[in-house]
Amino acid sequence: MGPMNRFWTLSGKPLGAWPDADTFALREGPIPVPGPGQALTRTIYVSLDPYQWGYKKRGVEAPGAPCHARTVAQVTQSQMAGFAVGDLVFNTNGWAEYGLMGEGVARPSYMIPRKLDPAQGRISQAVGVLGMLGLTAYAGMVLMGDPKPGETAVVSAASGGVGQIAGQLARLRGARVVGIAGREQKCRYVVDELRFDACVSHLSPTFARDLKAACPTGVDVYFENVGGALFDAVLPLFKQGARMTICGLIAHYGDAPGADARAALMKRGECIFHDRGVNVRDLFVGDFVASSHDTFLAEMTPKVAAGEIKYREDIRQHIENLPACFAEMLRGDNFGKMLVQLAVDPTR
């Protein structure tokens, strides 16, 4: 038998609040053969993102199919127009060593495979700062939050994939930016490297007080990635006419099925939102791909290349480690955008 394709699926055991050793199963099957209009690609980087746990809990993935993930891959066989062997691509192979792309291959409508140009930046950035995460930050902060010079913008999960970009975009627009992160090392990175004006730790027993002290004039823009106690600490600080983007509520991704964390948050905020005219908007990045992806790339690519926007990745190795890395990311044990590398990156 020739080389096989290894991939992770859900094990089929009932899912707990958070993933554990029983959640996933490593399987092996033949490497798929591309048909007309398709290409076979070998995965280089798998992007691990909090929303993937939501997919699993909501039963979005077909049983036995590789766990969904956005990937950076290299074409190894092609019957797909415009894609040749050796091309580097963004696609959605999931937690798998190989995957097909092209005609008839299921993927979310807004995750369109595209060819990558290594001259434009590191290829791993296609699933990060120059991909969906960057567009999420751009849409949620620039297009929805619209921070103005002198305003105060707060970003939760500030050292993570989305948060680090959202905060820098607010800073470049002249806002005073305050991050919220966990460990001290992350908070230091947010201030020293990303040049936020301040960063407070949600692990501190005086967190709410620390946040208030870091935002002496209140909060004009809040980019919400987490929810829970972080939202509760920001809520009393909202100024008249503040804007809040709900990007994600990661603290609630382990909640029981049917729990509506967003509705609970809106209820908790109801009086203050009303009295202070806070404009709360939900973000779904897929809504911005068609309208804003090109503008976003044109604005961001030179800024990233020039180091005006910094971006930290947490790159782990080996397919066997995917479940452990995923659980670590959900616990906050990543430091930067979490990726798992499955094959050699020919550009590094």
Ligand X SMILES: NC(=O)c1ccc[n+]([C@@H]2O[C@H](COP(=O)([O-])OP(=O)(O)OC[C@H]3O[C@@H](n4cnc5c(N)ncnc54)[C@H](OP(=O)(O)O)[C@@H]3O)[C@@H](O)[C@H]2O)c1
**Euclidean distance between CA atoms 302 and 65, whole angstroms:** 38
- Ranges of H-type helices in the chain: 51-57, 132-137, 161-172, 184-192, 207-214, 228-234, 261-276, 289-305, 322-331
162 binds ligand X (CB under 6 A): yes
The closest residue (CB) to ligand X is 160
Dmax (CA) for the chain in angstroms is 69
**Residues 257-296, mask of contacts with ligand X (x by CB under 6 A):** --------------------------xxx-----------
327 binds ligand X (CB under 6 A): no
49 binds ligand X (CB under 6 A): yes
**Phi, psi for residue 44 in degrees, rounded to 5:** -100, -55
Select the span of 38-46, 66-74, 142-150, 181-189 touching ligand X (CB under 6 A): 181-189
124 binds ligand X (CB under 6 A): no
Q: What are the counts of helices (DSSP H) followed by strands (DSSP E) for the chain?
A: 9, 15
92 binds ligand X (CB under 6 A): no
Can you tell me whether residue 89 is helix, strand or coil? Answer: strand
Between 6 and 337, name the residue whose CB sits nearer to ligand X.
Answer: 337
DSSP state string for 181-250: ESSHHHHHHHHHTT--SEEEETTSTTHHHHHHHH-TT-EEEEEESS-HHHHHHHGGGEEEEEEEEE---G
Using CB under 6 A, count the residues that bind ligand X.
Answer: 31
Identify the residue among 19, 121, 131, 160 touching ligand X (CB under 6 A): 160
Identify the residue among 9, 38, 152, 159 touching ligand X (CB under 6 A): 159
Between 60 and 344, name the residue whose CB sits nearer to ligand X.
Answer: 60
> Environment class of residue 294 by beta-carbon count within 10 Å: exposed (0-12), middle (13-18) or buried (19+)?
exposed
What is the nearest approach in angstroms of ligand X to the Cβ of residue 263? 16
Query: Which stretches of the chain bind ligand X, using CB under 6 A?
Result: 49-51, 133, 136, 157, 159-163, 181-182, 186, 202, 225-226, 228, 230, 247-248, 250-251, 283-285, 329, 332, 334, 337-338
